[in-house]
């Protein structure tokens, strides 16, 4: 193969990968994919269970606008074909799939039917091209069919976000989302970095954030800017803009909003007990977790609606539950107070008692909270594992156990348990399973993790 042919085949493979089409290990035309859908219809569109192949027709895509020798491709699909399959002109029945060329036309041989298509082309000497139409449908009905495709270089225009109000040197950034060239939809970068990307997001310590974008409608989001003087909010913080043949400028004004206190005051906890409040929402400003050993926890927030969560508190005396444990609060030009009452819950034992394991064998149980209290797990080489829980419904799991003699499975290995004013016991039976009779671990038997309070282990009785 000549060097020029190697070059365009390599480019061909790159385009196929970009279009989501697999390329064989040789880098050449992939082998025919297996046919997993129903049989194609016969000529005239009706089903045909006979061995006579259906009549086929030429479907030709003709392009204008690309520089001579540019590789481009067409992906073709029809509803009766279960998956994409490459086209080969020598195949007895060339099903729909893809084809590509460095000439001005791309051909398929297909039976009657309705076909969807997508046009693809990579950048030409660094310049992206767009196709019209980029995608669509074409009907083959008893005669040859064709689709005219026009390519044009994509023109980019400057889009600038210009800010006022931030202290000099403050870093700020902008997220932009929208349809890009050739149907590509960018994924905005989740956070700024030292090397800002041109399309998706961009940031600066100056007063202007810039993008180069083709015609289209885009959405944007301007996050809060954090400074030593406080948190600055953008206005507008989100919206849309349209690029239509000229540059676009979006003005962004930053300011520190007036903050009002949100105070949570608790009663019922022993003096000096740590408790916490999680607050989020509003304008994504000042949210987080505050913890205190005092009776009050405060936040400074701008106007807006917020959600809060007050977790239960474990102490040496037991579990304290907050009322309300969650809710919402609205700040509207004044400070807000929320009263939280903690009450000590009665705890009851949830005990798992095993039989069937040799003395000294380590086993584990987990208890997942569907009510108040922590989810936790514990291990023991005795016959029982005990958790302390308030009323509620819990999910449990019993892990398989190993020792030098073999592998043991638990029955039940999982299930639900309800605590309702009294302690509960669950009997667990372990059964020996010889390695050679079934699953065998491929690595050394793992060491067991330490027990997690409030799970405890009792003495073995068997």
pLDDT band (50, 70, 90) for residue 434: low
Average pLDDT of the residues in 408-432: 95
Residue 82 has pLDDT above 60, yes or no: no
* Spatial separation of the C-alpha atoms in residues 431 and 359, rounded to whole Å: 14
Output 189 or 21, whichever has higher pLDDT: 21
CATH classification of 3-45+52-153 is 2.60.40.10, yes or no?
A: yes
61 contacts 146 by C-beta, under 8 angstroms: yes
Region of poorest pLDDT, from 35-39, 94-98, 170-174: 35-39
The contacts of residue 3 (CB under 8 Å, 6+ apart) are none
Average pLDDT of the residues in 432-450: 44
Entry pTM: 0.47
The contacts of residue 127 (CB under 8 Å, 6+ apart) are 153, 154
Average pLDDT of the residues in 254-270: 93
Going by C-alpha positions, the residue among 203, 66, 37 that lies closest to residue 130 is 66
Phi-psi region of 25 (alpha: psi -120 to 50; beta: other; left: phi over 0): alpha
Q: What are the structure tokens assigned to 101, written together?
A: 């060329």
In the chain, domain spans: 3-45+52-153, 157-255, 260-344, 348-458
pLDDT tens digits for range 195-251: 233 357 899 999 999 988 888 889 999 988 888 777 888 999 999 999 999 999 999
Question: Checking DSSP bridges between strand 172-177 and strand 414-419, what pairing results, if any?
Answer: unpaired
* Spatial separation of the C-alpha atoms in residues 255 and 238, rounded to whole Å: 15
Most confidently modeled of 38-52, 109-123, 167-181, 343-357? Answer: 343-357
The contacts of residue 27 (CB under 8 Å, 6+ apart) are 9, 10, 13
Look at the domain 157-255 and name its fold: Immunoglobulin-like (2.60.40)
Residue 30 has pLDDT above 80, yes or no: no
pLDDT tens digits for range 349-382: 999 999 999 999 999 999 987 554 566 889 999 9
Residue 102 burial (CB count, 10 A): 15
Residue 432 burial (CB count, 10 A): 15
pLDDT at 287: 58
pLDDT at 284: 54
For 92, counting Cβ atoms within 10 Å of its Cβ (0-12 exposed, 13-18 middle, 19+ buried), the class is exposed
* Spatial separation of the C-alpha atoms in residues 408 and 402, rounded to whole Å: 6
Q: Quick one: how many helices (H) and strands (E) in the chain?
A: 1, 36
* Spatial separation of the C-alpha atoms in residues 140 and 45, rounded to whole Å: 10
Phi, psi torsion values for 407, nearest 5 degrees: -120, 135
Average pLDDT of the residues in 342-353: 93
Residue 40 has pLDDT above 70, yes or no: no
pLDDT at 293: 96
* Spatial separation of the C-alpha atoms in residues 399 and 386, rounded to whole Å: 15
Region of poorest pLDDT, from 277-281, 300-304, 345-349: 300-304
* Spatial separation of the C-alpha atoms in residues 379 and 359, rounded to whole Å: 14
Average pLDDT of the residues in 158-187: 75
Same fold yes or no, 3-45+52-153 and 348-458: yes
pLDDT at 228: 75
Q: How far is CA 381 from CA 8, 63, 351, 458, in A?
A: 67, 75, 15, 9
pLDDT at 179: 52
CA 426 to chain centre: 38
* Spatial separation of the C-alpha atoms in residues 203 and 195, rounded to whole Å: 9
pLDDT tens digits for range 282-308: 765 545 789 999 999 998 888 889 999
pLDDT at 16: 40
357 contacts 399 by C-beta, under 8 angstroms: no
Going by C-alpha positions, the residue among 37, 73, 43 that lies closest to residue 55 is 43
What is the average pLDDT value for the chain, to the nearest integer? 77
Question: What distance, in Å, lies between the first and last C-alpha atoms of the chain?
Answer: 78
Cis peptide before 283 (omega within 30 of 0): no
* Spatial separation of the C-alpha atoms in residues 169 and 226, rounded to whole Å: 12
Phi-psi region of 190 (alpha: psi -120 to 50; beta: other; left: phi over 0): alpha
* Spatial separation of the C-alpha atoms in residues 92 and 53, rounded to whole Å: 8
pLDDT at 354: 97
* Spatial separation of the C-alpha atoms in residues 297 and 313, rounded to whole Å: 15
Query: Domain 348-458 has what CATH class?
Result: mainly beta
Q: How far is CA 260 from CA 160, 235, 281, 298, in A?
A: 34, 20, 15, 10
Architecture of domain 260-344: Sandwich (2.60)
pLDDT band (50, 70, 90) for residue 110: confident
CA 109 to chain centre: 40
pLDDT at 397: 94
Run of H or E including 147:
strand 145-153
């Amino acid at each position: 193969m000549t060097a020029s042919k190697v070059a365009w085949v390599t480019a061909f493979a790159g385009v196929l990968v970009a279009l989501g089409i697999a390329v064989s290990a040789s880098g050449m035309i992939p082998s025919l994919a297996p046919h997993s859908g129903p049989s194609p219809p016969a000529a005239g569109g009706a089903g045909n269970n006979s061995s006579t192949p259906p009549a086929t027709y030429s479907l030709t895509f003709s392009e204008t606008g690309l520089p001579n020798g540019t590789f481009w491709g067409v992906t073709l699909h029809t509803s009766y074909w279960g998956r994409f399959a490459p086209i080969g002109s020598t195949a007895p029945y060339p099903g729909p799939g893809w084809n590509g060329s460095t000439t001005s036309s791309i051909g398929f041989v297909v039976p009657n039917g309705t076909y969807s298509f997508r046009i693809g082309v990579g950048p030409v000497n660094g310049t992206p091209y767009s196709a019209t139409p980029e995608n669509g449908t074409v009907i083959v009905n008893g005669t040859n069919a064709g689709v005219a495709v026009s390519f044009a270089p994509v023109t980019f225009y400057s889009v600038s976000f210009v800010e006022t109000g931030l202290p000099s040197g403050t870093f700020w950034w902008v997220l932009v989302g929208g349809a890009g060239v050739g149907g590509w939809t960018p994924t905005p970068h989740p956070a700024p970095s030292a090397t800002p990307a041109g399309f998706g997001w961009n940031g600066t310590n100056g007063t202007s954030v810039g993008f180069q974008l083709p015609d289209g409608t885009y959405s944007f989001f301007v996050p809060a800017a954090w400074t030593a003087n406080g948190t600055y909010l953008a206005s507008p913080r989100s919206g849309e803009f349209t690029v239509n043949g000229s540059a676009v400028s979006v003005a962004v004004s930053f300011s520190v909003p007036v903050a009002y206190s949100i105070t949570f005051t608790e009663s019922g906890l022993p003096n000096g007990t740590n408790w916490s409040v999680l607050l989020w929402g509003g304008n994504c400003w000042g949210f987080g977790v505050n913890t205190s050993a005092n009776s009050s926890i405060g936040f400074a927030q701008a106007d807006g609606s917020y959600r809060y969560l007050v977790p239960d508190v474990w102490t040496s005396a037991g579990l304290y539950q907050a009322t309300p444990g969650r809710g919402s609060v609205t700040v509207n030009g004044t400070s807000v107070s929320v009263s939280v009452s903690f009450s000590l819950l009665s705890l009851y034992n949830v005990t798992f008692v095993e039989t069937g394991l040799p003395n000294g064998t380590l086993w584990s149980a987990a208890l997942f909270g569907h009510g108040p209290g922590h989810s936790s797990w514990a291990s023991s080489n005795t016959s029982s594992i005990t958790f302390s829980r308030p009323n509620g419904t819990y999910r449990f799991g019993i892990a398989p156990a190993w020792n030098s003699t073999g592998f043991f499975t638990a029955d039940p290995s999982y299930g639900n348990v309800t605590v309702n004013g009294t302690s509960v016991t669950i009997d667990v039976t372990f059964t020996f399973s010889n390695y050679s009779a079934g699953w065998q671990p491929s690595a050394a038997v793992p060491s067991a993790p330490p027990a997690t309070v409030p799970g405890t282990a009792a003495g073995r009785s068997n």
